[in-house]
Structure 1
Amino acid sequence: MALAAQHLCTAAVSVSQFAVAYRAPSQSLTLVACRDSVDVNRDANEFPGIYTQLDFLTPEEEAILINGIDEMPWDLSQSGRRKQNFGPKCNFKKKRLQLSEFNGFPEFTKFVQERFETVPLLSLYKTIEQCSLEYDPIRGASTDPHIDDCWIWGERIVTVDLLSDSMLTFTKYRGDIKRYKLCCAFEYRPVFLGPLDCCEQEDCVVRVPMPRRSLLVIYGPALYGWEHCVLREDISERRVCIAYRELTPPHLKDGQHEEKGSEILNAANNFWDHRIMSQESWAQKLLHFTSKKRENLYTGNFPADAQH
């Protein structure tokens, strides 16, 4: 089933004041958000660039993913999140891309990437970064408003949601196109880029549902013309999502950086046993921590979280 989002325009009204209603005629689910009433007759095409497929995963497949993810070590991330990141090393400021230690993805997640081939919008999609993100209300987890860097991350951002429902909030971006390297999106001929100003009103907020076990694709106007975020108030219980990214056209065949892109794409063909890799990762983390602690014994320079 497909899900479409409709826009809500408001002036000086906080997102927390919005009411959310769902309607499921035939095989579709439409989100309508408004302050005082629900309008189920608005044109869902008013906010292009969002595609959601409900029940992309079965409950059994969700359990397989969560069990595998939780068997692997987590790293602390920003805004109360934890993450597991598999992808090349990127220096966004200097626009440098390195293979570094990237050698593919956990084997238990392979079926998700293979299922992308059944989604027409994801034709020829080749994952080069896969990131598991955990949102826990105990830590006040959230994501700040942003646009994914347009120098390296391609035209379709994909997310698969696990464990609980949440919302993705969009606000129109009116800043400098140099920020987020938006200018890079105009240096090549994007396949999905359409008119960026798809909402005529000045103050516009779009609330897109992210149902449990659904697939979400952000592309075109929604990707390049709007910042998106996950609000703290929209995380009521543990949520894990797997985010996928592809390369931009200059890093693909016949592009300026094809050679570097090919190196990354070759590594992305690998899938490995996470149980073996997890043991190695824990050993490396322990070795790093032990070495750092030994160094601090000589220097007296202890990090704040290692003083007790």
Structure 2
Amino acid sequence: MTTCGCKGVRSCLVCEHKEEPRPALPKATVQFHYNHHMGLAVAEMGTEVSGKCQLALLFPGVFLWTDFLTPQEEKSLALMMDKDEWKPSQSGRRKQDYGPKVNFKKQRVRAAGFSGLPSLSQPLLHRMNQIPFLRDFNPVEQCHLEYDPSRGSAIDPHLDDAWLWGERLVTVNLLSTVTLTFTRGDGELVEVRPLEECVDKSKNASDSANDGFVSTSKSRPALSNIGFDELSAASDGHQPLNVLFVRTTDSIPECSGSTKRLAARDVCVRLPLPARSLMVLSGPARHKWLHAVRREDVCARRLCITFRELSPAFCPGGVHESEGNALLQKVQSFCDGPVS
């Protein structure tokens, strides 16, 4: 590949010059690693902040469904995506867009050329709608991104738009595991405490219906046979799934003497996203923490599918209700080509 889609300060290995290296992103002072099984972000021991005590940070707003797809479903889905043209995008990525044309600066939406989501998404939506948290999820935009280490693919820290796009950002990760990095640029204080306290609190609250932390194992719903039969055939309806749901509120126990407060700008959370998994960002993880994929964390080709729903302004009773209704009607017709 000899061309790229980089603009402004963004760059990739295709357009960079050896004498003008890409400036390094700032590194946070304290690094936490998100633990899928505990639903906590845990700091390494031996740092200046943690010392001999392993500290943990409650990180609300992350929903992870590991093994959302089987290996055969993943392979078939990637083959179907590769049948459509990949277009150059920023920072070494390539993309396929299915959704309205949007000018976020001027807050304008144009539905011309948008005829619906791709047919391959229909069985995926059917499966994710089987769980209560996503039962009412109706996306109007679907974006496919390709990351490749040979191009130095990455995405800089950012918050997704909240004018048009709603509360939940849903991503399906394919082909390789990647690590997301969450950071903040503000000085608001975040509280961390010894890991043992966080684990004990999680255990003590696990029987409460309002706890917000759920870990279950059940049968994966079979994919609908609408859209792509090869994926439906690959699922026998009895595959195990793992759903790990982190607290969705900022509520934490009263501070103890062992609690530490750190400036948010000095903290980063590293979240491994396994291949074939589904992740939902909402709440603080969606609106407060910038998320990024660093170049050094892309070790193999990676595809991802991100679904976005409408914000309240485009839903019934909102100021842009009519525009939202028009988009929702288009979504009902599944198409077979990205928006040009």
Common fold: TM-score over 0.5: yes
1:201 paired residue among 259, 262, 266 = 262
Q: Structure 2 CA distance, aligned partners of 1:221 and 1:29?
A: 15
Q: CA deviation at 1:268?
A: 0.9
Q: CA deviation at 1:31?
A: 6.1
- The gaps in structure 2 that reach 5 residues or longer are 1-25, 188-246, 253-259
Structure 1 residue 121 corresponds to structure 2 residue 133: yes
Query: Measured at CA, do residues 47 and 268 of structure 1 come closer, stay the same or move farther in structure 2, by a change above 3 Å?
Result: same
Where 1:233 maps in the other structure, the secondary structure is helix
User: What are the equivalent positions in structure 2 for 1:25-174 lying under 5 Å apart?
Assistant: 32-34=42-44, 36=46, 46-174=58-186
CA contact (8 A) 1:89 1:99 kept: yes
TM-score normalized with structure 1 length = 0.71
Query: Measured at CA, do residues 256 and 67 of structure 1 come closer, stay the same or move farther in structure 2, by a change above 3 Å?
Result: same
Structure 1 residue 245 corresponds to structure 2 residue 257: no
Q: CA deviation at 1:196?
A: 11
TM-score normalized with structure 2 length = 0.64
Q: CA deviation at 1:219?
A: 0.3
Q: CA deviation at 1:193?
A: 8.7
Of Structure 1 and Structure 2, the greater helix share is in 1
Equivalent in the alignment of 1:227:
290
Where 2:328 maps in the other structure, the secondary structure is helix
The CA RMSD measured in Å over matched residues stands at 3.3
Q: Percent identity?
A: 41
CA contact (8 A) 2:44 2:54 kept: no
Equivalent in the alignment of 1:297:
none
- The gaps in structure 1 that reach 5 residues or longer are 1-12, 176-191, 286-308
Q: Structure 2 CA distance, aligned partners of 1:155 and 1:234?
A: 27
Count of aligned pairs between the two proteins: 245
**More deviation in 97-106 or 228-237?**
97-106
Q: Structure 2 CA distance, aligned partners of 1:17 and 1:225?
A: 18
CA contact (8 A) 1:165 1:212 kept: yes
Query: Measured at CA, do residues 219 and 21 of structure 1 come closer, stay the same or move farther in structure 2, by a change above 3 Å?
Result: closer
Q: CA deviation at 1:108?
A: 2.1
Query: Measured at CA, do residues 145 and 19 of structure 1 come closer, stay the same or move farther in structure 2, by a change above 3 Å?
Result: closer
Q: CA deviation at 1:269?
A: 1.2
User: What are the equivalent positions in structure 2 for 1:157-306 lying under 5 Å apart?
Assistant: 157-174=169-186, 200-202=261-263, 203-272=266-335, 274=336, 277=337
CA contact (8 A) 1:135 1:238 kept: yes
Aligned-partner residue type, residue 247 of structure 1:
L
Equivalent in the alignment of 2:223:
none
Q: Structure 1 CA distance, aligned partners of 2:34 and 2:63?
A: 18
Q: Structure 1 CA distance, aligned partners of 2:77 and 2:114?
A: 20
Where 2:171 maps in the other structure, the secondary structure is strand
Q: Structure 1 CA distance, aligned partners of 2:299 and 2:281?
A: 23
Equivalent in the alignment of 2:190:
none
Deviations 1:129-188 (A, max 9, x none): 10110000000000000000111111111100000001111012429xxxxxxxxxxxxx
